[in-house]
Every structure is written in structure tokens, then in C-alpha cells.
């Protein structure tokens, strides 16, 4: 079962700390209402790195504001948001594999089978990359219990 209270868990002896203050929606990780720290989610695919979006190009999806670099990347997201939105609502993929919610940083990311995964730190995403299929299988099961879709 998904655990939304404060916790300290261990993934390969790595700490995870969740805070309900940064997770206003149970389905999308946001800070002050902005998804993935204002990074354009399309940039992970188009540029191979996180690029900050702007207030000039933004939209509301799943109760969060998503920022984009351009009208083109915003339109791409609008056409197929599930292609570009991070898995597990932008919560840490490793924490989700353990049935917990944890914040993420834009620099800790991976794309696997065309989907974006975020993590709490570079160290955590490195652990995820050691066996992504195991983490994905566990996280998918836990995310399904959250009833958020995606």
C-alpha cells in the first residue's frame, strides 16, 4: 500500500525522505503547484537533458502547472502528455518501488523504453539503473494502488 506519511526508507542504504508539503496532489509531484520543478518534460527527450521551461509556455494538467521551453514543446505535450510526463507522477521511481512517495530532482533521471523516470538524487537513479526492470515492476504495482493512472 502506498505510504504518504513522513518516512525514512532504505534502498541500497540510500535515504529517502518524503514530505506531504511538496506533494499537494497524490498523483503529481509538484513544488508550489509546478510540476517537476518547472522543467520542460519534453526536453528530456528532445535535448537529452532537463531544460527549464518558462511562464510564457505553460499549461495545467492533472492539477499542476507544467512549463515548457517553447510553444512547440508545449503542443507536443498537449498531444500526448503520457508520452512525456514522468512515470509515477514525477515521484521518485525507487521510492515508488518500495511503496513510498519521495520528491525528485530534475537532474536525476533516466529514459527507459520511451518513458521518463525521475529520482531523488543521482545516487538513487544510479541504483535504479542497476536493475531497472525490477524497480519498474515493483513501482508499477504500487502506483496502480494509488489509482492515478498513467
Residues in the chain: 150
The answer to whether 148 touches 89, Cβ cutoff 8 Å, is yes
Tell how far CA 112 is from the center of its chain. 13
The residue with cell 498531444 is 79
The answer to whether 55 touches 38, Cβ cutoff 8 Å, is no
Distance CA 80, CA 69 (A): 17
150 residues of the chain, pLDDT tens digit each: 443 332 323 333 333 344 333 344 568 888 889 999 999 999 999 999 999 999 999 999 998 999 999 999 999 999 999 999 999 999 999 999 999 999 999 999 999 999 999 999 999 999 999 999 999 999 999 998 877 755
Look up the pTM and report it: 0.82
The answer to whether 91 touches 103, Cβ cutoff 8 Å, is yes
Q: Please report, for the chain, the start and end positions of each structural domain, with discontinuous segments joined by +.
A: 8-146
- Note the pLDDT tens digit of each residue in 32-56: 899 999 999 999 999 999 999 999 9
Q: By CB neighbour count within 10 A (0-12 exposed, 13-18 middle, 19+ buried), where does 74 fall?
A: buried
Distance CA 43, CA 116 (A): 11
Q: Report the pLDDT value the prediction gives residue 69, as an integer from 0 to 100.
A: 98
Distance CA 53, CA 88 (A): 21
Q: Report the pLDDT value the prediction gives residue 31, as an integer from 0 to 100.
A: 87
Distance CA 1, CA 34 (A): 26
Distance CA 81, CA 11 (A): 29
Q: Report the pLDDT value the prediction gives residue 21, as an integer from 0 to 100.
A: 32
Q: By CB neighbour count within 10 A (0-12 exposed, 13-18 middle, 19+ buried), where does 55 fall?
A: exposed
H or E element in which residue 72 lies:
helix 71-79
Amino acid at each position: 500500500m502506498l505510504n504518504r506519511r513522513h518516512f525514512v526508507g532504505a534502498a541500497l542504504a540510500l535515504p529517502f525522505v518524503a514530505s506531504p508539503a511538496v506533494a499537494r496532489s497524490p498523483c503529481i509531484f509538484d513544488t508550489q503547484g509546478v510540476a517537476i520543478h518547472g522543467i520542460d518534460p519534453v526536453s528530456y527527450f528532445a535535448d537529452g537533458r532537463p531544460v527549464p521551461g518558462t511562464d510564457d509556455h505553460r499549461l495545467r494538467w492533472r492539477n499542476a502547472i507544467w512549463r515548457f521551453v517553447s510553444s512547440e514543446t508545449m503542443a507536443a505535450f498537449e498531444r500526448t502528455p503520457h508520452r512525456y510526463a514522468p512515470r509515477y507522477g514525477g515521484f521518485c521511481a525507487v521510492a515508488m518501488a518500495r511503496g513510498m512517495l519521495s520528491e525528485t530532482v530534475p537532474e536525476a533521471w533516466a529514459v527507459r523504453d520511451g518513458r521518463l523516470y525521475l529520482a531523488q538524487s543521482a545516487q538513487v537513479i544510479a541504483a535504479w539503473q542497476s536493475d531497472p526492470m525490477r524497480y519498474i515492476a515493483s513501482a508499477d504495482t504500487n502506483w496502480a494502488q494509488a489509482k492515478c493512472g498513467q
